[in-house]
Amino acid sequence: MREVSVQIAVVGGGPAGLAAAGECQTAGAKALLLEERPVLGGRAVIVPGARGLAEGLMRDLRAVEVWRSTAVWGIWGRTLAVLREGRPHTVTADAIILATGAFEVITPFPGWSLDGVMTVEAAWEVVRAGKVGPSAGPAVVVGGPEAGTLAARLFERGAPVTLVAAERPKGVPESVPAVSGVLAAAKGDGAVQQAMLTDGAAHECRMLCIESPRIPLIDLARLAGAPCVYHPLLGGFVPRYDRAMALHGPTPALFIAGDAGGVDTPRAAAESGRLAARSALHMLKILPDGEARIEESWRQLRTASAPLRA
């Protein structure tokens, strides 16, 4: 087992984690960014207008060590239990920022458990794996802006695709086939073959991709002992944290950022990551004028979109 020690560990490579790591780099702190997926950027790569934000944050990361394809499965105090390339590691940090994001939840409907029915976020993993195209069969994508972005990408890859939405999302080319409607059911024998709409229309498909509500991913915060409260607007629990993004609970120097803290947009998530990093750096006496920088970050976050602080 490899044991690693750093000043700040950032868990999650979405906008919040990338922004937090960038702040650590600017301050000259020894930081480590851990991301479960093989690619960075998180949800920002699928949200209309946010891809440039993620790409800019990634370009700015030069001096921070990044571990991709790395699962963080446990936390004890300020030590993380990590699985990387099939090997166990521990990462001990003076401060930890949890930017673990959120996960999509499909509301059950007739046929929702058929093979080929998936969330929009899961469908992006299929796209990244190169498993879409003319030979993959037709796809139906249901939802709003994020569904529209996915439908446009599938269309670019040559996949027969139909977007089902109340209205064509902004930025989706007119060349992408779209219908107005509401999904009623999925039909098929073991795997999805048709998407049925409430008006009775049936659309052939081998993939049915649904834009779904997102719930904060708070497993590590809970393992760390942070108290959580139910937030009805999110439909899930959110850890309790203060204005500095510091988690309540038995262990100091643990911070939350981004979707995991109920922050609602990629740009606001990035601002919350900067705030959490500046708070951690100030606590470690690394950041000059820390209090002023934290106050500046708080104002920026409020401007971008106020966090749903529990």
Secondary-structure percent of the chain, ordered helix, strand, coil, rounded to 5:
30, 30, 40
Question: Which is nearest to 144 in space by CA: 160, 125, 167, 121?
Answer: 167
Task: Name the residue type at position 258.
Answer: G
pLDDT at 20: 97
pTM of the model as a whole: 0.88
pLDDT at 279: 97
SS3 category, 180? strand
- Considering just the CA atoms, what is the radius of gyration of the chain in Å? 21
Do 178 and 211 meet the contact criterion of CB atoms below 8 Å apart? no
pLDDT at 160: 94
pLDDT at 23: 95
Instruction: Render pLDDT for 35-61 as a digit per residue (tens, 0 to 9).
Output: 999 888 887 666 666 666 667 777 878
Q: Which two tokens stand for residue 158?
A: 């040559």
Question: Which is nearest to 47 in space by CA: 176, 148, 130?
Answer: 148
pLDDT at 50: 64
Could you tell me the domains of the chain?
2-103+213-304 (3.50.50.60), 106-210 (3.50.50.60)
Q: In the chain, which stretches have pLDDT less than 50?
A: 309
**Angstrom distance (rounded) from CA 106 to CA 86:** 30
**Angstrom distance (rounded) from CA 18 to CA 42:** 10
pLDDT at 49: 63
